[in-house]
């Protein structure tokens, strides 16, 4: 089967650092992506890891360990606008880059 596990909710304080974990079990794996989605909005791309290690993009970083089937998204210097749902997604096909298998999402609440 295909499954991705991530915490359902995380709460953090403005200015802090938060880590959202994702473990996956999929029949194919070609990379792990992270998307942000505000209520009523479109998912927007944040980060992508095809190889083990850390990718940094501004305040956001993403990590992947293929041997552990595990990744995380790290958000630094949290801002109120970061309150949203965050989804990890596995690229499960070599032929189509965006045939993605999504987790159920982590709802992040940033408090003042």
Where do contacts with other proteins occur on this chain (CB under 8 A)? Answer: 4, 40-45, 87, 89, 93, 95-105
Q: Which is nearer to other proteins, 95 or 112 (CB)?
A: 95
The CA–CA distances, whole Å, from 97 to 2, 45, 68, 93, 101 equal: 17, 13, 22, 7, 11
φ, ψ of residue 49 in degrees (nearest 5) = -125, 120
Minimal distance in Å, beta carbon 56 to other proteins? 17
Q: Which is nearer to other proteins, 14 or 56 (CB)?
A: 56
Q: Quick one: DSSP state of residue 81? A: G
Q: Which is nearer to other proteins, 39 or 81 (CB)?
A: 39
Minimal distance in Å, beta carbon 60 to other proteins? 15
Minimal distance in Å, beta carbon 51 to other proteins? 17
Give the pairing of strands 70-75 and 60-65. antiparallel
């Amino acid at each position: 089967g295909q499954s991705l596990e991530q915490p359902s909710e995380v709460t953090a304080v403005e200015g802090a650092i938060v880590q959202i974990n994702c473990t996956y079990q999929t029949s194919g794996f070609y990379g792990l992506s992270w998307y942000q989605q505000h209520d009523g909005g479109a998912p927007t791309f944040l980060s992508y890891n095809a190889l083990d290690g850390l990718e940094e993009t501004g305040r956001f970083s993403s990590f992947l360990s293929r041997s552990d089937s595990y990744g995380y998204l790290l958000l630094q210097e949290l801002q109120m606008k970061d309150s949203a749902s965050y989804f990890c997604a596995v690229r499960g096909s070599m032929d189509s880059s965006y045939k993605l298998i999504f987790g159920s999402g982590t709802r992040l609440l940033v408090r003042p």
